[in-house]
A = this chain, B = another copy of it.
C-alpha cells in the first residue's frame, strides 16, 4: 500500500495547534513564508512517497547482511540515501551555520513525520545523525565542529549514539566502557549494544558518540563522559585517514525496523579507539540531556508516523475489499459498522497524537527562539512537562493503532505480504528505545511534576479548564459534547495530579504509567477539541475543504465519546491502585 503525505492535515495542525504563525513571526524565520512551508511539505511528501515508501517492505524482508564487520544495507537504500542527501533533506533541520537550513522545529517535525511514515527504518539514520550534530553543536570544541559538522549535516558522514551496554540499559549508572587520557584525545574501549545504524555502507564515515568512564571518575552517573569516536580518523585537512580501533561485532535479529542495522559495537580491541571529549569530563549525562527533548519528541513522532501509515493502509484496504452485506451504505467492508469503528479509532488516535507532538514542537520553537526571556522560560517549562507525555503516549497509542490496522485486514493482516503486520512490528520498538514508557512516566511524575510541586501541570490544567468551560458554543450540540467530555477529563487529571503529589515514592512510581496515559488522553482530547473549534470557525467563514473540516469535528467527537471516558478509570488506578500493584512478594508472582 502506498503512502500519501497528509499535507492538508499537517498544515491544519501546524497552524491551529502548533502555533505556526507565532513561530514564523520569531526572529530568524523571516524568509520562511506560509507558502514556502506548504511547498516544502509538498516536496517532502513527494520524496517520501516516491523514493522512501517503496523501499519499506523490501527493506523489511531483506534486512541487513553482516559480513566480517561490514554491514550491507538492503537493495536501494544506498541510492535512496544519496538522493536524500543530494536534495538537501538530510540537513534541513540543522543550523545554517553548518550547512543546514535552520527550519523551525515545527516544520521539520512535520517533514520528519513523512520520512518515518514512509520508511521508519531508513529515517532512523538521519535522526541519529541529527542527534549527534546537536550534541557536537552544543558541546564540541570549535575544531571538532568545523571538522565534523559540515559532512554530517550534508549526510556524507552519519552519526550514532552509543549508550547501552549488556548490563546497562535504562540504568546508565552501571556503564563500564573505559576512556583513558592520551594527549589531546582519549583511548576508548568497551562493548556497546543496540547501536542503531552503528555500521552500514551508505556513508563515507560514521561518527560514534560514546559514553564511557575515566579511570578516576566518580561512580554512578556522575562519572560518565561523552566522546566523539569516528570510524575513520579525520586529518586536519578533513580527509579520512586510518580506520579507528572499533568494529561491528554483529547485528541483531529483530522483531521490526529490520532494514536498520542494530549493531553490537566493540571499541578498543587493539590499542583503544581514539576519541575526543565532548563537553567536560564526567559531564556526559548532562550532554546527553541537552539532546533528550528533541530525541524523545522524534520517537514520539514515530508513534504518530507509523499510526498514520497503518491508518492509510487499513483505510485503503477497507475501501477496496468487498465482503458480506454491509449496513452503512458502502459496498466495501468500510460499510460494516465495526470496521468503521476500527478506522475511526485509528484516525482519532492518530490525529490526537499528531496534535500533541506538533503542539510540543511549536513550543520548542518558542522556548528556543522567542525574543524575550520570560516567555522562553515559560515555554521551556511547558516543553519539559510535555516531552515524556509525547514520547510515552504517542508510542503507546501506536501499539493500539497498528494492531487495529492488522485487524481491519482480517486474515490478510497476518500475511506479511500485505504489509500491515510490518507496521505493528516496526511500532513495537517505539515504547522501548529512547527510554521506555516506564522511564518516561517516572520522568513525568518526578522531574516534571514533583520537583515543581505540580506548578507546570496546574498551569496546563488551568488552560485546559478555561477551554473546557469556554462559552459561545452552546447552540452546537457536537461542541457541547466535546466540552462536556473535556471537563470530565480535566477533572480526572486534576484529581489524579493532586493524589499523586501526596503519594509516597513507591506508590507514585506504581501509578506513573497510568498517570501518563491519563495525561496524554486528556491533553490529546483537549487539542482535538481545539481543532474542532477551529474547524467550526473555518466552516462558518466558508473556508475551502468542507469535508476535511467537518471530519475534524466528528473525529474529535469520536475521541471524546470513546477514548476520553477511560480517563476516569486511569484516575481510579492512580489514586488507589498501588495496593494491588505492590501487594505480592516476588515468590507470589
Residues of B contacting A265 with CB < 8 Å?
none
Given the complex of chains A and B, what is the CA–CA distance between A399 and B399 in angstroms? 10
Select which of B164, B432, B576, B588 is within 8 A of A561 by beta carbon: B576
- In the complex the two chains form, is A584's CB within 8 Å of B432's CB? no
Q: Give chain A's interface secondary structure class.
A: helix
Select the stretch in A97-105, A363-371, A402-410 that faces chain B: A402-410
Given contacts A413-B432, A551-B584, A561-B573, contact A338 B579 (CB under 8 A): no
Select which of B335, B340, B506, B573 is within 8 A of A562 by beta carbon: B573
Does A217 have its Cβ within 8 Å of any Cβ on chain B?
Answer: no
Nearest opposing residue in chain B for A252, CB measure = B415
Select which of B506, B551, B558 is within 8 A of A327 by beta carbon: B506
Q: How far is the CB of A563 from chain B (nearest CB, A)?
A: 9
Given the complex of chains A and B, what is the CA–CA distance between A494 and B555 in angstroms? 28
Given contacts A171-B324, A410-B432, A431-B407, contact A589 B425 (CB under 8 A): no
Nearest opposing residue in chain B for A580, CB measure = B558
Give the residue among A406, A410, A547, A581 with the most B Cβ atoms within 10 A.
A581
Q: How many copies does the complex hold?
A: 2
- In the complex the two chains form, is B579's CB within 8 Å of A557's CB? yes
Does A336 have its Cβ within 8 Å of any Cβ on chain B?
Answer: yes
Does A187 have its Cβ within 8 Å of any Cβ on chain B?
Answer: no
Q: Contact mask A297-331 → B, CB, 8 Å, 1/0?
A: 00000000000000000010011001111011110
Residues of B contacting A397 with CB < 8 Å?
none
- In the complex the two chains form, is A328's CB within 8 Å of B506's CB? yes
Nearest opposing residue in chain B for A322, CB measure = B167
Residues of B contacting A68 with CB < 8 Å?
none
Does A356 have its Cβ within 8 Å of any Cβ on chain B?
Answer: no
- In the complex the two chains form, is B583's CB within 8 Å of A557's CB? yes
Does A132 have its Cβ within 8 Å of any Cβ on chain B?
Answer: no
- In the complex the two chains form, is A255's CB within 8 Å of B425's CB? yes
- In the complex the two chains form, is A512's CB within 8 Å of B436's CB? no
- In the complex the two chains form, is B411's CB within 8 Å of A432's CB? yes
- In the complex the two chains form, is A338's CB within 8 Å of B589's CB? no
Q: How far is the CB of A328 from chain B (nearest CB, A)?
A: 6
Select which of B255, B421, B568 is within 8 A of A414 by beta carbon: B255
- In the complex the two chains form, is A581's CB within 8 Å of B421's CB? no
Select which of B255, B561, B566, B583 is within 8 A of A566 by beta carbon: B566
- In the complex the two chains form, is B586's CB within 8 Å of A562's CB? no
Select which of B323, B344, B421 is within 8 A of A255 by beta carbon: B421
* 5 pairs from A and B in contact (CB 8 Å cutoff): A253-B416, A341-B510, A514-B562, A557-B583, A565-B568
